[in-house]
């Protein structure tokens, strides 16, 4: 995202890759794998006057969620993206949106620091707090799942999303729905079903807010068929990687809701373009997270405070994942929201 009025076009004097590891409070099992620790990959931008900016790469430890992963992202950053940014030229790199988003976020954060501005107000946030939801991974048993959800409901989260896959879907979801009949409840399949899978039809009658990414990311035609067949709204996540893929999904009728992750689409600038287009098309949007530390969450929360984001996102408190965050912890407020605020200093372990 280029500088807006009042924001200087500062070129960093130095760009560094910073890597650390944070243990997760509990392993998080999804339809595509399990994360037990968070391998955190950061970009730090500095000028000659002591200002600095930070960006976080959303890539996970393994290329299961997308084709990016931490080791590959670090290699692309060191070999291509950072040298190009230091020279003030475009990087000749195909793909790697999460690594690119980290560079863009660090440079923008540096410019904001030089200008004495904060991201939410500069971006145009219209809220001082955003509704928070929480994602719950595949559990060891239905009873364990219900117990975990109980903790999140007691904490005050406005929405709960359950990870599902063939063989772990109707029974656990039905148990949660029976325990909390009025809970805003969604499910996320991470593309683990195929169009004719009976599990999708059986989920359709459980009063869900949405079924997220039921089919593989590249099957927009199949997603459109599922969206036509189900009464439950279909939300796309991995399928929408750019404004172009959103346009294709809209043309096909492949989505009812959109999970927007700035890391997945290449950073804040393309994320705002995707958000504006979805809002213009009348598609409800929420902002998703990537097991982010407080560095990445600051970007997600600022985006979630913009007009057009209308649903609670996957933006939990820091303690959901980490005993100690890299920044001032993000705390869930009593009304089930997160405050929209500047990020604060970054402290490495």
Residues 109 and 158 in one domain: no
Residues 112 and 128 in one domain: no
Predicted pLDDT at 28: 80
Catalytic, 297? Answer no
SS3 209: coil
Query: Is 138 part of a structural domain of the chain?
Result: yes
Predicted pLDDT at 31: 63
C-alpha distance from residue 105 to each of 205, 226, 265, 300 (Å):
41, 36, 13, 11
- Percent residues over pLDDT 90 in the chain: 91
Residues 58 and 157 in one domain: no
Residues 189 and 202 in one domain: yes
Q: Is the pLDDT of residue 4 over 70?
A: no
In degrees and rounded to multiples of 5, residue 108 shows phi and psi of -60, -40
Given the residues 159, 163, 165, 257, select the one marked as catalytic.
163
Residues 224 and 335 in one domain: yes
Characterize the bridge pairing of strands 129-131 and 52-57. Answer: unpaired
Which of 69, 102, 117 marks a domain boundary? 117
Query: Is 54 part of a structural domain of the chain?
Result: yes
Given the residues 44, 111, 165, 261, select the one marked as catalytic.
261
Which of 82, 117, 152 marks a domain boundary? 117
Please give the full DSSP string across 292-335, using - where no structure is assigned: --HHHHHHHHHHHTSTTB-S-BS---GGGT-SS-SSSPP---TT
In angstroms, rounded to a whole number, what is the distance separating the alpha carbons of residues 81 and 97?
11
| Number of independent structural domains in the chain | 2
Q: Is the pLDDT of residue 56 over 80?
A: yes
In angstroms, rounded to a whole number, what is the distance separating the alpha carbons of residues 223 and 228?
9
SS3 229: helix
Catalytic, 261? Answer yes
C-alpha distance from residue 134 to each of 31, 209, 320 (Å):
16, 14, 8
Residues 309 and 222 in one domain: yes
Residues 45 and 85 in one domain: yes
- Indicate the pTM of the whole model: 0.95
Residues 213 and 101 in one domain: no
> What CATH number does the domain containing 326 carry?
3.20.20.120
Query: Is 2 part of a structural domain of the chain?
Result: no
Predicted pLDDT at 87: 94
Predicted pLDDT at 33: 76
In angstroms, rounded to a whole number, what is the distance separating the alpha carbons of residues 116 and 262?
23
The size of the chain, in residues, is: 349
Query: Is 346 part of a structural domain of the chain?
Result: no
Q: Is the pLDDT of residue 348 over 70?
A: yes
* pLDDT tens column, 246-287: 999 999 999 999 999 999 999 999 999 999 999 999 999 999
Please answer whether residues 10 and 114 qualify as being in contact, where contact means their C-beta atoms are separated by less than 8 angstroms. Answer: yes
- Structural domain that includes position 53: 14-117
The percent helix, strand, coil of the chain (3-state, each to 5) is: 35, 20, 45
Residues 134 and 35 in one domain: no
Please answer whether residues 266 and 242 qualify as being in contact, where contact means their C-beta atoms are separated by less than 8 angstroms. Answer: yes
Residues 174 and 283 in one domain: yes
Query: Is 36 part of a structural domain of the chain?
Result: yes
Q: ∠282-286-289 over CA atoms, to 5°?
A: 155
Residues 280 and 175 in one domain: yes
Q: Is the pLDDT of residue 130 over 70?
A: yes
Query: Is 45 part of a structural domain of the chain?
Result: yes
- Computed over every residue of the chain, the mean pLDDT equals 95
Predicted pLDDT at 3: 39
* pLDDT tens column, 294-339: 999 999 999 999 999 999 999 999 999 999 999 999 999 999 999 9
**Which residues neighbour 303 within 8 Å (Cβ) at sequence distance 6 or greater?**
123, 260, 262, 268, 271, 272, 275, 287, 309
Query: Is 1 part of a structural domain of the chain?
Result: no
Predicted pLDDT at 9: 84
Number of alpha carbons in the 13 Å side-chain half-sphere of residue 35: 29
* pLDDT tens column, 60-119: 999 988 999 999 999 999 999 999 999 999 998 999 999 999 999 999 999 999 999 999
Residues 101 and 235 in one domain: no
> What CATH number does the domain containing 23 carry?
3.30.390.10
Which of 117, 133, 167 marks a domain boundary? 117
Query: Is 5 part of a structural domain of the chain?
Result: no
Mean pLDDT confidence for 198-205? 92
Q: How many CB atoms within 10 Å of residue 193?
A: 25
* Per-residue pLDDT band at 1 (split at 50, 70, 90): very low
Q: Give burial (CB, 10 Å; 0-12/13-18/19+) of 213.
A: buried
């Amino acid at each position: 995202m280029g500088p807006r009025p009042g924001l200087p076009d500062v070129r960093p004097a130095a760009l560094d890759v910073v890597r650390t590891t944070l243990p997760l409070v509990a392993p998080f099992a999804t339809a595509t794998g399990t994360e037990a620790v968070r391998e955190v990959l950061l970009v730090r931008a500095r000028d000659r006057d002591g200002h600095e900016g930070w960006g976080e790469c959303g890539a996970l430890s393994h290329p299961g969620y997308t084709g990016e992963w931490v080791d590959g992202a670090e290699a692309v950053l060191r070999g291509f993206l950072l040298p190009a940014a230091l020279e003030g030229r475009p990087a000749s790199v195909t793909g790697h949106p999460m690594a690119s988003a980290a560079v863009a976020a660090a440079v923008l954060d540096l410019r904001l620091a030089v200008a004495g501005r904060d991201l939410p107000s500069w971006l145009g946030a219209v809220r001082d707090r955003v509704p928070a939801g929480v994602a719950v991974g595949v559990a060891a048993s239905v009873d364990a799942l219900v117990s975990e959800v109980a903790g999140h409901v007691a904490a005050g989260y406005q929405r709960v999303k359950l990870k599902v896959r063939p063989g772990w879907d109707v029974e656990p979801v039905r148990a949660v729905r029976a325990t909390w009949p009025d809970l805003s409840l969604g499910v996320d399949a991470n593309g683990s079903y195929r169009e004719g899978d009976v599990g999708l039809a059986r989920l359709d009658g459980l009063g869900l807010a949405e079924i997220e990414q039921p089919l593989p990311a590249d099957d927009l035609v199949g997603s459109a068929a599922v969206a036509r067949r189900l009464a439950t709204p279909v939300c796309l996540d991995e399928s929408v990687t750019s404004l172009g893929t959103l346009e294709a999904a809209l043309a096909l009728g492949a989505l009812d809701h959109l999970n927007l992750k700035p890391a997945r689409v290449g950073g804040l600038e393309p994320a705002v373009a995707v958000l504006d287009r979805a809002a213009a098309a009348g598609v409800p949007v929420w902002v998703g997270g990537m097991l982010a530390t407080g560095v990445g969450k600051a970007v997600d929360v600022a985006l979630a405070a913009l007009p057009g984001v209308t649903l609670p996102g996957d933006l939990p408190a820091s303690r959901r994942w980490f005993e100690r965050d890299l920044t001032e912890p993000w705390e869930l407020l009593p009304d089930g929201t997160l405050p929209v605020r500047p990020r604060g200093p970054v402290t490495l372990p």
